[in-house]
Amino acid sequence: MKKYIVLLDIIFYVVFPLAVWNLGREWFGDYLAMILSTVPGILYSLYRFFELKKINFFGIYLLTNLIITFLIDVLAGSALQLLWNNVIYSYILGAVFFGTIIVKKPIFLYMALDLTEMQGQDRSVMKSLFFRKKILTIFSWITAGFALKFVILASIKTWLIQQYGVEAFDKGIILRQVLNWGFTIVSLSGFYFINKELGKSSVDNDEEHVQGESPLLK
């Protein structure tokens, strides 16, 4: 599945939602078509959650985000309110991500810990390395980047809603995925610098020695 992750993301997060929205709104109306268009992405995300085969921080975040997103969509009551609910939720997510930086526990650090643990690394050892000042700073910047992504997404969606009303829905789907890919590239750049710091740690620290290829980008 990993080999086709980008293609599957496009299919389930862009192609299917756009198809369901554009075809379904004539049969079910705007509001119900919006809700139905989220179903492919929800099912796909659930599959990825269960594929982890382990309950960890990233899995809990993914499942919680799915539940909240589904609830705010279903409880919106109208197509336009659904769009505004998603704007508000994006701002909230941005604030939460920024908040984890303020308390010096950037959320992206814990996601990276899950990744390294799934690759067979000792979680406690990697955690002690990740919380070193330079590496913690890089994780904070990556987390800030994703917080900024939510703020940018919400701000552009606000403008789209004001300009196009419910017609902003399909534009928001494409915008969200483009921003996701863009900031994923940014995060990979951050991981490059983290790998460099981990490489220095493997040489300079005998007690927390990390051998071989860096676990983040295997």
Q: What is the token pair recorded at 72?
A: 């705010």
Secondary structure class of 25 (helix, strand, coil): helix
Cα gap 126→129, rounded to integer Å: 5
- Residues with Cβ < 8 Å from 8, sequence gap 6 or more? 1, 44
Q: Are 106 and 127 in contact (CB under 8 A)?
A: no
Inter-residue contact 170 to 107 (CB < 8 Å): no
CB atoms within 10 A of CB 177: 15
Report the pLDDT value the prediction gives residue 209, as an integer from 0 to 100.
45
CA distance 175 to 14: 10
DSSP classification of residue 205: -
pLDDT at 53: 61
| pLDDT score, position 211 | 46
Closest CA to 22 of 12, 7, 37: 37
Q: Could you give the CA distance from residue 206 to residue 142 in angstroms, rounded to a whole number? A: 28
Q: What is the pLDDT at residue 212?
A: 47
Residue-wise burial string across 18-35, b where 16 or more C-beta atoms lie within 10 A, e elsewhere: eebbeebbeeeebbebbb
* N-term to C-term CA, the chain: 16
Decide if 83 contacts 161 (C-beta within 8 A): yes
pLDDT in tens, the chain (218 residues): 555 566 776 777 777 778 887 888 788 788 888 888 888 888 887 887 777 666 677 778 878 888 888 888 888 888 899 899 999 999 999 999 999 999 999 998 888 888 777 777 788 888 888 888 888 998 999 899 889 989 988 998 898 888 888 888 777 778 877 877 777 777 777 777 777 777 766 545 544 444 444 455 44
